[in-house]
């Protein structure tokens, strides 16, 4: 019988100045205290000087009527509503640009990054020109270029371009049909949610089968999932009474009325952000794919895998772990670069903050609200990408 070894002694923290951990804790506490005292002194001194000069301070102005209108927003805003609602409109306008911009820039940047590695000289050259041009011209100049192109080269509102039925493109922006909301559309949304959950469940089952047998997803699997999604949406639409009313834009003598519309300022900002950020994302994708060891590519070729299949199942998953961290930085840059909307007249968060500052004189408070909004957006984006990064990293078996 071998006697059992005694359990290891419990860790003992030596509360002595000779302990490196204790000294580090003391230094951290002292640093925090110094920082808090410095900030308190600056705030107290600033508020005292503002009172001496008769400058009001505080965030109570957020509940006062704004007194100005917002030209473009997702929901109605009246000048009698408060500054807080105006900031909410500005935040929604920022998200209205940032979220589609992230999606479109990711798609365009991924395609350009793949094109940079193409064997076709023409495709590779065009993608290289796109990357070098977009990354070496300041974003503000690109925004001015797109804005002048839309306001000078597009036809007037009386004779707009019509790329398809009931879709008009002119100096006034883009007008398009919109479905008229009714209670029956709720069934369509429920069907869409059910279809998404079904697609997710089928994808998990397919992945488990791949892990167990090595049998990859086939085109039939994706088509079946898409068919299920369409069937659930169609069923919900039929159960909701099959609503089919549309609000169609119409050309009048002086303007376009009806339907949905986006302004040239919005299109300028969206296109500028997408094109500019796609150049950086393309380089992230290209460098991530090239970081995969050459032996992995050679092994895929030795197995007889087509290049697209090797990219999907061999190089892509390994490169994704390298791509995600710098891709997060590009998403954050796109969100922050949307503040340049004020240069082209789009009423985003910074524009609303500037107008509020000019009317109220609360410079510190207005800037603090804008900073808090951008900080929250950046932290939420980083959190979502970090969660995605943890899911994509190598798992121990």
Task: Tell me how many domains the chain contains.
Answer: 1
Check whether 244 has a pLDDT greater than 70: yes
Contacts 24+ apart (CB under 8 A), 324-330: 324/385, 324/388, 324/389, 324/392, 325/389, 326/284, 327/106, 327/281, 327/284, 327/385, 328/381, 328/382, 328/385, 328/386, 328/389, 330/105, 330/109, 330/277, 330/280, 330/281, 330/284
Q: 343 in helix, strand or coil? A: helix
Q: Please report the pLDDT score of residue 218 as a whole number.
A: 65
Q: What is the CATH number of the domain that holds 382?
A: 1.10.3720.10
Q: What is the rounded CA–CA span in Å between residue 107 and residue 221? A: 23
- Mean pLDDT, residues 21-30 taken together: 89
Within-domain flag for 252: no
Within-domain flag for 64: no
pLDDT digits (tens, 9 = 90+) for 119-133: 899 999 999 999 999
Within-domain flag for 378: yes
pLDDT digits (tens, 9 = 90+) for 226-239: 888 888 888 887 88
Range of the domain at 130: 83-151+265-392
Structure tokens at 23: 């000294």
- Please report how many Cα atoms fall inside a 13 Å half-sphere around the Cα of residue 180, on the Cβ side: 9
- Mean pLDDT, residues 357-383 taken together: 92
Check whether 300 has a pLDDT greater than 70: yes
Check whether 9 has a pLDDT greater than 70: no
Within-domain flag for 329: yes
Within-domain flag for 219: no
> Considering the chain, what is the average pLDDT of its residues?
86
Q: Compute the residue count for the chain.
A: 397
Within-domain flag for 388: yes
Within-domain flag for 133: yes
Confidence at 353, pLDDT banded by 50, 70, 90: very high
Check whether 178 has a pLDDT greater than 90: no
Among 347, 265, 368, residue whose Cα is nearest residue 66:
347
Range in 73-77, 134-138, 344-348 the model is least confident about? 73-77
- Mean pLDDT, residues 181-194 taken together: 81
Q: Please report the pLDDT score of residue 88 as a whole number.
A: 94
Angle of the 264-290 helix axis to the 83-115 helix axis, nearest 10: 40
Within-domain flag for 40: no
């Amino acid at each position: 019988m071998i006697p059992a070894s005694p359990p290891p002694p419990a860790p003992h923290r030596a509360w002595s100045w000779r302990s490196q951990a204790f000294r580090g804790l003391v230094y951290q506490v002292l640093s925090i205290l110094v920082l808090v005292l410095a900030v308190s002194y600056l705030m107290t001194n600033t508020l005292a000087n503002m009172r001496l000069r008769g400058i009001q301070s505080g965030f109570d102005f957020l509940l006062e009527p704004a007194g100005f209108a917002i030209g473009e927003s997702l929901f109605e805003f009246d000048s009698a509503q408060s500054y807080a609602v105006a900031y909410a409109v500005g935040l929604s306008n920022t998200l209205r640009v940032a979220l589609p911009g992230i999606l479109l820039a990711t798609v365009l940047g991924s395609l350009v990054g793949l094109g940079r590695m193409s064997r076709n000289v023409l495709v590779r050259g065009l993608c290289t020109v796109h990357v070098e041009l977009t990354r070496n011209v300041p974003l503000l100049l690109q925004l001015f270029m797109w804005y002048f192109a839309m306001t000078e080269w597009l036809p007037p509102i009386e004779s707009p371009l019509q790329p398809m039925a009931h879709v008009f493109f002119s100096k006034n922006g883009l007008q398009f049909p919109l479905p008229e909301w009714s209670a029956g559309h709720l069934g369509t949304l429920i069907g869409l949610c059910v279809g998404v959950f079904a697609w997710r469940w089928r994808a998990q089952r397919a992945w488990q089968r791949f892990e167990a047998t090595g049998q990859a997803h086939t085109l039939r699997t994706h088509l079946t999932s898409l068919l299920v999604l369409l069937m659930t949406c169609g069923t919900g639409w039929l159960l909701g009474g099959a609503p089919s009313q549309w609000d169609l834009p119409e050309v009048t003598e002086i303007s376009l009325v009806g339907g949905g519309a986006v302004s040239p300022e919005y299109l300028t900002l969206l296109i500028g952000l997408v094109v500019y950020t796609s150049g950086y994302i393309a380089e992230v994708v290209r460098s991530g794919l090239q970081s995969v060891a050459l032996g992995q590519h050679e092994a895929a070729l030795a197995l007889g895998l087509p290049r697209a299949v090797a990219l999907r199942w061999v190089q892509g998953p390994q490169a994704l772990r390298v791509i995600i961290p710098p891709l997060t930085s590009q998403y954050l840059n796109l969100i922050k670069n949307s503040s340049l909307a004020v240069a082209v007249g789009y009423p985003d968060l910074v524009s609303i903050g500037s107008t509020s500052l000019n009317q109220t004189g609360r410079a510190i408070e207005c800037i603090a609200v804008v900073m808090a909004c951008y900080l929250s957006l950046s932290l939420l984006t980083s959190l979502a990408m970090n969660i995605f990064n943890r899911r994509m990293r190598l798992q121990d078996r």
